[in-house]
Amino acid sequence: MSQKRNQILDDFRNSDRFNREFHAHNIFKNDFSVADGFSGSFTKLLDRCLFLNNIESADLGEDEVLLMSALKDIILVGSRAMFLEGVGLRKNFTLQNCLKVAGFEDESKKIDSIFHEKRFAGFISDYSFSKAVRDVVNKKIAHRDGSISDKAKLRISKIESEILSGINLSLYISYIYDAHEIYNSVVMKYAADSLSIN
């Protein structure tokens, strides 16, 4: 075992409750380089969602509306990249693939299941996280599909306008939190198991 890993395990073993989680993520990242950055990515994504949730749109000027629109695009594209790459792409850098590579297939499937649940309200109540995010990012933000009908364009614009607004923003955040809870439990268990082995 490397000296670096021994130090990381010692840091985890000797830390208080708050720092224990930080050190657990270091152990996981050290042992599975594919995991590097997921904790930070989750934090950034949640921070952006919470920031958006705290903004009163009625108080925004024209420039702020433009910035909020850009922030929404960043949240949607980030979510798409972090959770929703094609399952056939074995080397993709989604959270689920990271967990598979680390040997946590069941947890990966649980996260996929979360993103296929239908939690949203209003016009998008029949959409899962996966379907809504993919439709908006794939057909409006990241790609401009000129071959889709005007009716489909209207539908996608409606999804885009609702997915990160009002109650749906809170529901969007709930998907991210639930996925993070699974990921965090894997990391904490892995760190504790690493201590018992060493």
Read off the pLDDT of each residue in 62-90 and give the average, rounded to a whole number: 86
Domain borders along the chain are: 3-197
Read off the pLDDT of each residue in 28-52 and give the average, rounded to a whole number: 81
Q: Tell me, letter by letter, the H, E, C secondary structure of the chain.
A: CCHHHHHHHHHHHCCCHHHHHHHHHHHHHHHCHHHCCHHHHHHHHHHHHHHHHCCCHHHCCHHHHHHHHHHHHHHHHHHHHHHCCCCCCCCCCCHHHHHHHCCCHHHHHHHHHHHCCCCCCHHHCCCCHHHHHHHHHHHHHCCCCCCCCHHHHHHHHHHHHHHCCHHHHHHHHHHHHHHHHHHHHHHHHHHHHHHHHC
Read off the pLDDT of each residue in 188-195 and give the average, rounded to a whole number: 83
Residue 127's pLDDT band (cuts 50, 70, 90) = very high
